[in-house]
Structure 1
């Protein structure tokens, strides 16, 4: 497959580097292993029960047990599980022999330090309950849909926050997920025997996941899944890949749709614009190849023809390609040209809309773009033609109507022309106007004022970041929300989001 050479960029085409982690999340197999718990408190009992639930043989060292701990050990013995061995004595160095991990509830730092030192000497990882500085590992807050297990850690800084996150996740993961995960475990080897590694196998499991968040699997589910696996293997040998145009929104990763995240997680290759934020790319599949193809501020970049050819070439090689565009792909994103090119080549195209910058700006300013007291129409207008100037065919008299809200995209470098043309078309210089740079990002900047101050405002904000200009009486609300007195207008507000 011929791959086009990309222009130099300051963002690596390889998968993004893992961001720093406070702790390494590890899921530890303890089935049949010897573990020790020192202490007979309720807190120690909870940790002992957790370890026993993982199939460990729990040796408890305590000369006195709380009522709940004693009851736990008794119930385990009565049920025949026999997961607990109670040693009616305090721990010693010999207690660590053959242990996989050790947990203790210590009364003070001195006792914790002694237990920690003994564990280190024996080569056994140690956890001291509620004493992070003597812990070599920590227990997270757990969402249990075993074999699906989710653990949340705040590195000991905010256990209440971890519990709140767990409650949120609990509402997202249906109880039926447990049955689907068990089914996945059962059929994995059968599926692998039927489907070749790579895209076909991943496609099967993506379809599996779509069903896993629905009703419980029925009696015929396994048979149906294995039949679909055989069909996928047959069609995969002659299949072409597909391209998905995905809207990345204005920058804030939390504004992505769920469908956009799923597309990023399924991609083999991601062709992304320069304006797509690192936070959005962080949500993509780790193994996906990432290729910067965007244009911005006159920097070296791929031509549209190169981007089209690249998508065609990758899709014909069987790749699942995501064309990741800032904002919404169908608004000033040249999506029409890309769709036409792909359809001409017989390549399937999906489109995932995104939050366009105008909507994000309205939300940030608390402004309704079509507030019925001010505007009966809203227009999105490009402030940048192919030549780098304002488009020649704009109807400025129409744009200057008082009952219209107008949002200019990519108008930073033409702000002075926009101001002049609107004034010449009859718009009042006192018309409320806003300018927002780097909307929703950490370096977001705003200006709120009137049309007469537009050119100077953009000069102050700068055009290194994407600039959005809003003109219309609806923005009088934004002015009232931010000014402290009439004399403060216009002003520039730069703030961290």
Structure 2
């Protein structure tokens, strides 16, 4: 482990005595915090020195612990029997005296905003008690700590508190009935999936959890399940939170060839990872073999994550996998991802639909099982000048796609946008017109994952392509910071 600026610990103050000196707003916040942790707070400050916040706090009943006001200054004898001491003191000399007196009594001390007199620090707190998250920047950047707290609060739904309380209630039964290792982990990870919801657990949640414990106790294979997860276009930050949780709870990950290493880095370290990629013009796993692997591992009690690039429900062959898993009565869930078409729109800074240019958007496969153009496409319908059409996996067929669309009435000057390796470091983009689509794709490289957009929503990019810019968009973005 690397060096730690300070050691994060969680201090049980329930029923213990805390000494508090000071009557200002800072003291009020710390006194409220100590009481919330169950401490009995003895507050030493003359009544005339009580600020408005402290007076309001003393007039209210704390949700936990207690706060007792002593109408006098602190003195060296107040630290006996205390578990913790906190002072909100302006004077440097008095702050030093307070810290020295506390340390002499063997009591850890914190003087607000005076690091030299602190044995510990208060960080930013995310309260989902009994789940409590503390954040510290070692005093260097409190505002950054608060920003981190806000980010974490968005990740932890308020309902998590109720689920954590239920976990405490179930813990004894889980420990008694399930052997350490895979069985307990299978239970807690399924339980954790439920906990990250917006609703608190109802009476049925406890019954379902106890039923799952019983199922696991009878048969370890009861924990087997499959989650189909969309990995998005490639950039790890475009994963959903639910996708990350699935990766971190997986026993086995069957991943596509286009899934980036950055995404796999987010997975549980102990998970078995198997490449089952499918790429044009490359040797790859048969779909039947992938289905068999999912069934095999799930029936062995494993949580299998089938990780697909883009969205699992858009040209991901999820239908065949769902059919097989349901035939085998294996529980399966779907975690959607950002499909490549959305990433294409973001890369070019356009909307795929537009009141004046495109009233609909279509996703079309660019090749068939046999490797050529799909034979059953309605090319007349696709040659619609008031729609945006996105061709997936159409790199090798780009020239033929253009020929068919033009032959069916779409103007040769219709704007097109082409991208390879969307959202990755080596992303490449180009734009132009339909009559030049084959040449544009050839320039980018047909062996790369290619996405083609056809429609008037790309017209500004097509016009700009006629006069190459002096600075490419990606380079300009780097220079703007």
Q: CA deviation at 1:42?
A: 2.4
Task: Tell me the alpha carbon deviations over residues 5-54 of structure 1, each in whole angstroms, 9 at most, x when there is no partner.
Answer: xxxxxxxxxxxxx9999877643333355655565532133213312322
Task: Give 3-state SS (helix, strand or coil) of 2:14's partner.
Answer: coil
Which of the numbers 316, 319, 322 marks the counterpart of 2:299? Answer: 316
Distance change >3 Å, CA 66–CA 493, structure 1 → 2: same
Q: What are the ranges of 5 or more consecutive residues in structure 1 without an aligned counterpart?
A: 1-17
User: Which of 208, 211, 236 pairs up with 1:228?
Assistant: 211
The 1:230/1:354 distance shift into structure 2, 3 A limit, reads closer
Ranked by relative contact order (alpha carbons within 8 Å, sequence separation 6 or more), the top structure is 1
* Structure 1 vs Structure 2 CA RMSD: 5.3
2:110 & 2:280 partners in 1: Cα distance? 53
Q: What are the equivalent positions in structure 2 for 1:25-424 lying under 5 Å apart? A: 26-32=9-15, 37=20, 39-56=22-39, 58=41, 65-67=49-51, 68-69=53-54, 81=66, 88-89=73-74, 103-105=86-88, 107=90, 129-130=112-113, 138-151=121-134, 156-158=142-144, 161=147, 164-165=150-151, 172-174=157-159, 178-197=161-180, 198-199=182-183, 202-203=186-187, 206=190, 210=194, 213-214=198-199, 217=202, 224=207, 228=211, 231-233=214-216, 236-237=219-220, 239=222, 241-251=224-234, 256=239, 260=243, 263-264=246-247, 266-277=249-260, 280-281=263-264, 288-295=271-278, 304=287, 307-339=290-322, 342=325, 347-363=330-346, 365=348, 367-369=350-352, 371=354, 373-375=356-358, 378-383=361-366, 390-391=372-373, 393=375, 398=380, 401-403=383-385, 405-412=388-395, 415=398
Cα contact 2:383–2:405 (8 A) shared by 1: no
Residue 357 of structure 1 deviates from its aligned partner by 0.9
Cα distance in 1 for residues equivalent to 2:285 and 2:278: 7
2:2 and 2:448 map into 1 onto residues whose CA distance is 24
Equivalent residues of 1:132, 1:156 under 8 A apart: no
Q: Distance in 1 between matches of 2:470 and 2:92?
A: 59
Taking structure 2 as the reference length, the TM-score comes to: 0.71
From the superposition, tell whether residues 300 and 40 of structure 1 become closer, same or farther in structure 2 (CA, over 3 Å).
Answer: farther
Give unpaired runs (5+ residues) of structure 2.
Answer: none
SS in structure 2 of the partner of residue 51 of structure 1? helix
Q: Are positions 1:467 and 2:450 aligned together? A: yes
> Following the alignment from structure 2 to structure 1, what is the Cα–Cα distance between the partners of residues 65 and 6?
37
| Partners of 2:283 and 2:107 in 1: CA distance | 55
How far, CA to CA, are the matches of 2:121 and 2:268 in structure 1?
A: 27
Cα 1:110/1:356, change in 2 over 3 Å: farther
Q: For residue 474 of structure 2, what is the aligned residue in structure 1?
A: 494
Deviation at 1:470, TM superposition (A): 0.7
SS in 1 for 2:422: coil
Question: Residue 433 of structure 1: SS of its match in structure 2?
Answer: strand
1:434 offset after TM fit, Å? 0.9
Q: Relative to structure 1, is the Cα distance of residues 128 and 385 closer, same or farther in structure 2, using a 3 angstrom cutoff? A: farther
CA distance in 1, matches of 2:442, 2:106: 63
Cα distance per residue 1:432-475 (max 9 Å; x no partner) = 01123443456655333323554565566567864321112232
Between the aligned partners of 1:49 and 1:29, the Cα distance in structure 2 is: 15
**Count of residue correspondences:** 468
TM-score, reference length from structure 1:
0.69
User: What is the alpha-carbon distance in structure 1 between the residues aligned to residue 97 and residue 443 of structure 2?
Assistant: 62
Q: Deviation string for 1:470-490 (max 9, x for gaps)? A: 11223226658xx5x985589
